Amino acid sequence: MAKYLLLKHYRGAPASVNDVPMDRWTPEEVSAHMQYMRDFAARLEETGEFVDSQALSPEGTFVRYDGEGRPPVTDGPFAETKDLIAGWMVIDVESYERALELAGELSAAPGAGGKPIHEWLELRPFLTACPTITE
């Protein structure tokens, strides 16, 4: 099994095909979208492929060390062009092909007009611990 991160972006990813902000959908379309996401996670739990899923607030700050005895420096929020992560799902699957398949399914979540969003999701493999037998 291999773990993958499915990353969803508020911005920074290429524009989706059905690109309408959520507050411009109808309330029923919003509900349908939420239901699709819940069903998707539930299905992965059943197949034993679900690990974790979290959503992030769009408000974040960059922080860095500023030297001994000084408080950390903060920066941001940044301009609209900056990449902004919205949330993730971690899956544990048999193959890269399966991970692609699931990412495709998630990207098909319905949006405005009840049509698939075709949202771009970022698929990132986890680096694993060193296997016992390497030679």
Partner 1 sequence: MDETLLRRLTPAVIGILVRRGADFAAAEDAVQDSLVEAVRVWPGSPSQDPKGWLVTVAWRKFLDAARADTSRRHREVRVEVEPVPGPGEAVDDTLQLYFLCAHPSLTPASAVALTLRAVGGLTTRQIAQAYLVPEATMAQRISRAKRTISGVRFNQPGDVATVLRVLYLVFNEGYSGDVDLADEAIRLTRQLAVKTYHEEVAGLLALMLLHHARRPARTAPDGRLVPLAEQDRSLWNTRLIAEGVDVLQTALTRDRLGEFQAQAAIAALHADAQTAEETDWVQIVEWYDELVRLTDSPVARLNRAVAVGEADGPRAGLAALAGLDPALPRHAAAAAYLHERDGDPVTAARLYAEAARSAPSLPERDHLTRQAARLNARLRR
Which one, 53 or 98, has the nearer CB to partner 1?
53
Q: Based on CB atoms, which residue is closest to partner 1, 59 or 135?
A: 59
Tell which phi-psi region holds residue 32, choosing left (phi > 0), alpha (psi between -120 and 50) or beta. alpha
In whole angstroms, how close is the CB of 58 to partner 1 at the nearest point? 6
In the complex, the smallest distance separating the C-beta of residue 106 from partner 1, rounded to whole angstroms, is 16
Find the binding residues for partner 1 in span 56-95 (CB under 8 A): 57-59
| Residue 25 binds to partner 1 (criterion: CB under 8 A) | yes
Return the half-sphere exposure (C-beta side, CA atoms, 13 A cut-off) of residue 80. 0
Angle at 86 between CA 79 and CA 25, to 5 degrees: 95
Q: Does 55 bind partner 1 (CB under 8 A)?
A: yes
Number of Cβ within 10 Å of residue 44's Cβ equals 20
